[in-house]
Amino acid sequence: MRFAVSLLTVLGIASIIGTVLKQNEPYTNYIIQFGQFWFEVFEVLGLYDVYHSVWFLLILLFLVISTSLCVYRNSPNMLREMRVWREHATEKSLRAFSHQHEYQANGTPDEIRAGLTRFLTARGFRFKTLQHENGDELIAAKAGTYQRLGYIFTHTAIVVICIGGLIDGNVPFKVQELLGYKTVEVRDIAASEVPAESRLSTANLSFRGNMTLPEGTSADVAFMRMRDGYLVQELPFRVALKDFRIEHYATGQPKSFESDLVITDPDLAEPLEATISVNKPLIYKGIAIYQSDFQDGGSNLDFNLWGLFSNQVAPLSVLGTIHQEVTLGEGDAALIIEFDDFRKFNILNLTADGKGKPHNVGPNVTFKVRDTQGQAREYVTYMQPLKLDERFYFVSGMRPALQEEFKYLRIPVDENFEIEGFMRLRAAMMDSAAHVEIARRLTASSLSADADNDDMKGKFESSVTQLLRAFAEGGYTRIAALIEDSVPEDQRDNAAQTYIKIISSAAFEAHNLARERAGQSPAVADEETLFFLQDSLNSLSDLFFYGAPFYLELKEYEHREASGLQLTRSPGKNLVYSGSVLLVLGIFAMIYIRERRIWLLVKSDNRVLFAMSSNRKNRDLDMEFARYQEQLQRLLT
Amino acid sequence: MNNALINDEPIPLLKRLDWQDWLYSIVLLAGAIFAFNQYSHHMDVYEQGFLFGAVATFSWLGWSWKAMRNLVLGVGALSLFAIFVYDADLQRAEQAFFLKYLISSQSAIMWMNVLFILATVTYWVALFNRSQFTGKFASSLVWSAVLMGFVGLMVRWYESYLIAPDVGYIPVSNLYEVFILFCLITALLYLYYEQRYATRQLGGFVMLIISAAVGFILWYIFDREAHTIQPLVPALQSYWMKIHVPANFIGYGAFSLAAMVGIAYLLSARGILASRLPSLDTMDDLMYKAIAVGFAFFTIATILGAMWAAEAWGGYWSWDPKETWALIVWLNYAAWLHLRLVKGMRGPILAWWAVVGLFVTTFAFIGVNMFLSGLHSYGEL
């Protein structure tokens, strides 16, 4: 018992570790978290999959055996206790009871006997009468003896549940692995190439595997993640995904995830079609198929690629597919774009104080840009402009590492709600040839036409050109550096204000120059234009932190989803359920049935000795005894 | 002699019922029949079963605990009145007087909060003044709080359908709603024992944990706007949830009750407030009764959870943090019951254990959602 309690405590602590330490993560995450040394220590202890480690299962097995032995040893006693009447209690022993009382009864012995038996029957006691040789009569009564079944039920239940759990656990695989028949596959290879020692046949009793099916594809194997690798579970049928659907509430939150499946099996006359959804699995041949998650199944995406630091106005067209990559450029300058995910619906809360309602902001695409050194940055770009602080922007987030937060680039929309306006302005601002023209126009519009100012005009023009070049080389950061290098400390604030003003005014000229080149009418210097220019300049300055020399604008998409299915076979389930029923019955029996025994010794001189006991001494017994004592008093005298 | 026999004989429940009991059940049955006639075409066979099962359950509850009759009828009447005033227009929550100040779900829940806090203060005043009357008043405050709380949940149920028919759900689905449920169930369990064992002096203690929950509810409303009704995520659209969650909260409520009685026990055992509190034996017994009820329901809830998990997650046991902590809570109280029932232990050790058990339970209830991630993540703070 003591040993069993210690083992239970160990199990409890192990379980707690299992909840604190995330289980079954990729091993690289653990190495980053703990360092190489502790990673190996924890791996030996099996802490990354505590609940399936050998020692955990052994303790569980031991507990099952010890509980079974306990039930085996004690049950016969318990059952005997239930049956016996204890009618051989002597007067002396009854008088030694803590709950006993003696009465001097009135009436004939028959009347007394009749009264007492009626008293017992009305209170649910069964009894047996024993005639003593000296003329005394002992009535031995009992009630609630089924309480003892509670013990047998609960303990048997625990054994049954654990056996069910062990059957559904991966014990058979563990044994085969120890014997060297099976190994975990760690290579990233196609399912069909996985060797036999990492495949589990359809005869495998119990498993819990996953399968990701893009729409229009099918598979007849499931994968089981195990430690740092996986196993392939063969299925006795083939599952095809016809269609995957997400339905939404009016507010945009997802309402249901559904997959239309087609099962093909030589045993079936014709394919079985079924729709599964969360909470509504399909069970076929003892294998339950669950809707577990979803992801992109290889959507085709059509992008405009805008070079950010060139003077080129028109975009390039780039086609991408999720889970595939595209290489831009050649040699050392080549960049690989890895398209990771496309999401058609994104529910975001964009209100400034975070208290407004979240709503759907449309599709986004997540991709990585990797250079030839293998360094990658991750990007998330929204297809449609988002409304932030009452204005609309094209938004793209970047992060240099997965554990960091995204930093967002906001590009203001033009009057047509497009990105072109910004991109044309950007082309002009980044074009050193255009800088001269912009400076000339700015000079013409801001300085009066006096002829004697030629010299000053020339100076102003060249300083504007210089400023624009600096901005084109590094945005506001570069301007700040310029000020720090060339302006005395006490004049820097003034200089900064002047420079920013000049750049803003120059941007207006650049904007018009760009519009002119695109064949558009010049812009009016109204509030709307000024906001646009302000946002554009901020955004231009931020381009230098964006990390990619291009912006991918998502134009069109052809959505293709993949459904994540979970397939399980758990023959132990019925055992676990019946064990559970037994457990509940047992607990109620143990707690709510009270075993009580009463002895009434009727002596030949009409004295009646009343004694009462229970296998559990508690307040209920005290109260019940007090009540019966009083009632017997009234009955007998 | 025969008279004494007959007068003392225990009478079976059915023979003890008076005309009020029967009238109560007839009202319930009439309501169910009305609902069945109106809406049976929207119900599947389980829901029809629930409808009439509810009549049986609430009849039995009301028969065995008379005060329940008033509560059930009161909740029914007020909720129907709220529905009548709403007249299928959600905007009326801001316009109609009764809804705005009394029985729209949010107002009713606010009233519940206020009444629980008042009841806490009143119980403590009663404890220090040794005043029977003040104690009785405190009990009626708790009853009113429970009434308003249930009305709040019932009306919230209706309101969720007014937002959109496909949004509607039974409000036991997010952390905000289950906290309300927790307050109500703990209060009801307490009221039952208060009446049964005449332990009004313990009210102040039990109400402390309810007040703490009320504090959380208020923070949750004002800081996080948790009271806005959000549609259910697909994982929660299941019948299992509707029985799994309440069963769990009977467990949590009973364990909290036991812990608060445990605190009173420990104080009294040290001579603090000893003359004002019930006897140590009574409190010890109450602790046992509460943990026994809690354990039984917690077991059922965990089993129901496993059955639901088998249907939703593909396995009845996934060693998800919430499941694992449920197991730890279960083992904890199983050990407690073993010590008491098998070893016959009594006294301060068990009281301490019940108090510590509350921390384990609280961690399983909210700590897991706050600190650990897993499949139960919809309860996230």
- Residues in chain B with CB shorter than 8 Å from the CB of A165 are 317
Q: What does pTM read for this prediction?
A: 0.85
Which residues of B fall within a CB distance of 8 Å from A253? Answer: 230-231, 233
Is residue B58 a part of any domain in this protein?
A: no
pLDDT bin (cut points 50, 70, 90) of residue B367 is confident
Q: Do A616 and B316 count as a contact with CB atoms less than 8 A apart? A: no
Per residue in A539-561, is it b (16+ CB within 10 Å) or e — as a string?
bbbbbeebbbbbbbbbeebeebb
Residue from A98, A253, A279 whose CB has the most chain B CBs within 10 Å, to mutate: A279
State whether A635 and B319 contact (CB < 8 Å): no
- Examine the pLDDT at A570 and tell me if it is beyond 70: yes
Kindly determine whether residue B234 and residue A255, on different chains, have CB atoms separated by under 8 Å: yes
Nearest chain A residue to B295, by CA: A587
The answer to whether A415 contacts chain B (CB < 8 Å) is: no
Distance from the Cα of B206 to chain A's closest Cα (Å) equals: 22
Residue-wise pLDDT tens digits, A324-360: 999 998 888 899 999 999 998 888 888 777 666 777 8
pLDDT band at B2 (very low <50, low <70, confident <90, very high): low
pLDDT category of residue A617 using cuts at 50, 70 and 90:
confident
Chain B hits for A12, CB-CB cut-off 8 Å, are 328, 331
Nearest CA in chain A to B279: A619
* Contact (Cβ atoms closer than 8 angstroms) between residue A552 and residue A130: no
- Cβ contact, residue pair B164, A281, below 8 Å: no
pLDDT given at position A69: 92
Do B218 and B272 fall within a single domain? no
User: Do residues B258 and B123 both lie within one domain?
Assistant: no
Note the pLDDT of residue A222.
95
> Does residue A583 sit at the B interface (CB-CB below 8 Å)?
yes
Neighbouring residues of B44: CB distance < 8 A, sequence distance ≥ 6: none
Is residue A80 classed as helix, strand or coil in its secondary structure? helix
Of B234, B292, B321, the CB nearest to A257: B234
User: For residues A405 and A378, what is the distance between their CA atoms, to the nearest angstrom?
Assistant: 10
A584 interfaces chain B, CB cutoff of 8 Å:
yes
Assess: ipTM above 0.90.
Answer: yes
Per the structure block, which two tokens stand in for B19? Answer: 């005309």
pLDDT score of B1 more than 80: no
Cβ within 8 Å of residue A250, ≥6 positions away: B164
**pLDDT tens digit string along B63-85?**
999 999 999 999 999 999 999 99
Position A390 scores a pLDDT of: 86
Check whether B230 has a pLDDT greater than 90.
Answer: no
CA distance A166 to A163: 5
Spatial separation of the C-alpha atoms in residues B319 and A160, rounded to whole Å: 19
CB contact under 8 A, B234 and A279: yes
Sheet holding A100-104, edge to edge: A100-104, A607-614, A596-602, A137-143, A126-131
Kindly state whether A88 is in contact with chain B, defined as any CB-CB distance less than 8 angstroms.
Answer: no
> Structure tokens of A446?
């801001």
* Residues of A (199-258) whose Cβ lies below 8 Å from B: 208, 249-251, 253-257
Per DSSP bridges, beta strands A229-248 and A199-200 are: parallel
Can you read off the two tokens belonging to residue A52? 């399936």
Contacts of B193 in chain A (CB under 8 A): none
Output the average pLDDT for chain A: 89
What Cα–Cα distance (Å) separates residue A580 from each residue in A574, B242, B246, B326? 10, 19, 19, 15
The pLDDT tens digits for A457-472 are 888 888 899 999 999 9
Residues B259 and B228 in one domain: no
State the CB neighbour count (10 A cutoff) for residue A373: 7
Above 60 in pLDDT, residue B377? no
Q: Do residue B299 and residue A111 have CB atoms under 8 angstroms apart?
A: no
Q: Using pLDDT thresholds of 50, 70 and 90, give the confidence band for residue B375.
A: low
Cβ-defined contact of A591 to B328 (cutoff 8 Å): no
Q: Do A573 and B300 touch (CB under 8 A)?
A: no
The whole-number pLDDT of residue B369 equals 80
Tell me: do B185 and B305 sit in the same domain. no
* pLDDT (0 to 100) of residue A452: 61
Specify the pLDDT at position A160.
Answer: 95
| B164, B312, B314: residue with CB nearest A250 | B164
Distance from CA of B77 to the nearest CA of A (A): 32
Question: A333 in helix, strand or coil?
Answer: helix
Q: Which of A8, A570, A634 sits opposite B4 (nearest CB)?
A: A634
Q: Is A106 on the interface with B (CB under 8 A)?
A: yes
Phi first, then psi, for residue A531 (nearest 5°) are -60, -45
Candidates A19, A584, A617; nearest CB to B299? A584
Q: Please enumerate in sequence order all residues whose Cβ is within 8 A of that of A236, keeping only pairs 6 or more positions apart, or say none.
A: A202, A265, A285, A287
Q: Per the CB < 8 Å rule, is B311 touching A590? A: no
Please tell me the distance from the alpha carbon of residue A540 to that of residue A583, in angstroms, as a whole number. 68
Same domain, B94 and B151: yes
Mean pLDDT, residues A228-250: 91
- Tokens describing residue B315: 């396995």
CA distance B152 to chain A (A): 23
- Residue B373: per-residue pLDDT: 65
Burial of residue A37 (number of CB atoms within 10 Å: 0-12, 13-18, 19+): exposed
With contacts defined as CB-CB under 8 Å, which chain A residues touch B225?
355
Task: Identify the CA nearest to B358 among candidates B290, B301, B306, B300.
Answer: B290
Pick A22 or B375 by higher pLDDT. Answer: A22
| pLDDT tens digits, one per residue of A528-556 | 899 999 999 999 999 999 989 999 999 99
Residue B150 has pLDDT above 70, yes or no: yes
Confidence of residue A23 (pLDDT cuts 50, 70, 90): confident
Determine the residue among B15, B303, B356 to mutate to test chain A binding: the one whose Cβ has the most chain A Cβ atoms within 10 Å: B303
Write the residue in A8, A249, A591 that is nearest to B231 by C-beta: A249
Residues from chain B contacting residue A103 (CB–CB below 8 Å): none
The answer to whether the beta carbons of residues A21 and A48 sit under 8 Å apart is yes
Rounded mean pLDDT, A427-455? 81
Q: Does A92 touch chain B (CB under 8 A)?
A: no
Q: Does a structural domain hold residue B242?
A: no
Query: Mean pLDDT over all residues of chain B?
Result: 91
Q: Dihedral of CA A313/A319/A322/A324: which sign?
A: negative
pLDDT band at B6 (very low <50, low <70, confident <90, very high): low
Distance from CA of A617 to the nearest CA of B (A): 8
Structure tokens belonging to residue A508: 């207006």
CB of B256 closer than 8 Å to CB of B209: yes
Helix axes B175-197, B132-163, angle to 10 degrees: 150
A577 inside 8 A of chain B by CB: yes
Select the more confidently predicted residue: A43 or B299. Answer: B299
Give the C-alpha separation, B64 to A481, whole Å.
84
Statement to judge: residues B225 and B274 lie in one domain: no
Q: How far is B121 from chain A (nearest CA, A)?
A: 31
Tell me: pLDDT of A239 over 70: yes
Q: List the structure tokens of A267.
A: 């045993």
> Least CA distance to B307: which residue of chain A?
A577
- Are residues B283 and B143 part of one domain? no
Cβ contact (<8 Å) for A290 and B331?
no
pLDDT at B198: 87
DSSP code string of A462-492:
HHHHHHHHHHHHHHHHHHHHHHHHHS-GGGH
Set of chain B residues whose Cβ sits within 8 Å of the Cβ of A584: 296, 299-300, 303
Let me know if residue B63 belongs to a domain: no
How distant, in Å, are the alpha carbons of A47, A380, A383, B132, B236 from that of B188?
Answer: 43, 51, 54, 20, 27
- Could you tell me the pLDDT band of residue B299, with boundaries at 50, 70 and 90? very high
pLDDT in tens, B13-36: 888 899 999 999 999 999 999 999
Average pLDDT (A257-262) is: 95
Q: Are B212 and B354 contained in the same domain?
A: no
Nearest to A25, CA basis, from A57, A47, A54: A47
The pLDDT-based confidence of A1 (bands split at 50, 70, 90) is: low
CA nearest to B293 within chain A: A591
| A196 at B interface, C-beta within 8 A | no
Please tell me if residue A123 touches chain B, with a CB cutoff of 8 Å.
yes
Nearest CA in chain A to B317: A165
User: Looking at the partner chain, which of B231, B233, B319 has a beta carbon nearest the beta carbon of A18?
Assistant: B319
Q: Identify the helix (H) or strand (E) that includes residue A377.
A: strand A376-382
Task: Please give the Cα distance from A63 to A61 (Å, whole number).
Answer: 5
Report CB contact under 8 Å: A635, B4: yes
Round to whole Å and give the CA distance between A483 and A477: 10
Higher pLDDT pick, A142 / B369: A142
- Dihedrals φ, ψ of A336, to 5°? -105, 125
Pairing assessment for the beta strands A550-558 and A282-284 based on DSSP bridges = unpaired
- Residue A81 belongs to what H/E stretch? helix A54-83
For residue B213, the enclosing domain spans 70-232
**Cα A387 → chain centroid:** 30
Q: Is residue B40 part of a domain?
A: no
pLDDT at position A331 is 84
Task: Give per-residue pLDDT as tens, B237-248.
Answer: 888 888 999 999
- Partners of A300 in the β-ladder: A321, A558
Q: Which pair of structure tokens corresponds to residue A415? A: 């009057």
HEC readout, chain B: CHHHHHHHCCCCHHHHCCHHHHHHHHHHHHHHHHHHHHHHHHCCHHHHHHHHHHHHHHHHHHHHCCHHHHHHHHHHHHHHHHHHHHCCCCCHHHHCHHHHHHHCHHHHHHHHHHHHHHHHHHHHHHHHHCCHHHHHHHHHHHHHHHHHHHHHHHHHHHHHHHHCCCCCCCCCCCHHHHHHHHHHHHHHHHHHHHHHHCCHHHHHHHHHHHHHHHHHHHHHHHHHCCCCCCCCCHHHCCHHHHHHHHHHHHHHHHHHHHHHHHHHHHHHHCCCCCCCCCCHHHHHHHHHHHHHHHHHHHHHHHHHHHHHHHHHCCCCCCCCHHHHHHHHHHHHHHHHHHHHHCCCCCCHHHHHHHHHHHHHHHHHHHHHHHHCCCCCHHHCC
Is residue B262 in a domain?
yes
Cβ of B314 and A281 within 8 Å?
A: yes
Alpha helices in A375-526 (DSSP H): 420-429, 432-446, 454-486, 492-517
Closest to B290 measured CA to CA, from B266, B265, B270, B260: B260
CA distance A580 to B296: 12
Residues B311-330, mean pLDDT to the nearest whole number: 88
Distance of alpha carbon B74 from alpha carbon B152, whole angstroms? 12
Nearest to B319 among A23, A618, A620 (CB): A23
The residues near A247 (Cβ < 8 Å, ≥ 6 apart) are A254, A255, A256, A258
* Test the B interface: residue of A5, A17, A591 with most B CBs within 10 Å: A591
Number of domains in chain B: 2
The Cα angle at residue A219 between residues A217 and A222, in degrees rounded to 5: 135
- Quick one: tokens of B168? 């509607």
Interface test with B, best of A259, A278, A617 (most B CBs within 10 A): A278
**What is the per-residue pLDDT for A457?**
82
Tell how strand A100-104 and strand A607-614 pair up.
antiparallel
Q: What is the pLDDT of residue B245?
A: 93
Beta bridge partners of residue A244, listed in sequence order: A259
Residues A573-594 have pLDDT tens digits of 999 999 999 999 999 999 899 9
For residue B373, which of A414, A527, A20, A54 has the smallest C-alpha distance? A20
A63 φ, ψ (degrees, to nearest 5): -65, -40
- Mean pLDDT to the nearest integer, A469-476: 91
**Radius of gyration for the alpha carbons in chain A, expressed in angstroms and rounded:** 41
With an 8 Å Cβ cutoff, are B233 and A277 in contact?
no
- Token pair for B267: 């104080």
Cβ neighbours of B8 in A, within 8 Å: 119, 631, 634-635
Which sequence spans correspond to the domains of chain A? Answer: 2-77+165-173, 84-144+596-636, 177-205+207-297+561-569, 300-554
Instruction: Write down the residue that tokens 């099952």 correspond to.
Output: A64
- Torsions phi, psi for A386 (to 5 deg): -105, 150
* Structural domain A84-144+596-636, CATH architecture: 2-Layer Sandwich (3.30)
pLDDT band at A451 (very low <50, low <70, confident <90, very high): low
State whether A115 and B5 contact (CB < 8 Å). yes
Between chain A and chain B, how many beta carbons pairs sit less than 8 Å apart? 132
Per-residue confidence at A54, pLDDT binned at 50, 70, 90? confident
Q: Give the pLDDT of residue B376.
A: 62
CA distance A368 to A366: 7
Residue A450 confidence (pLDDT) above 90: no
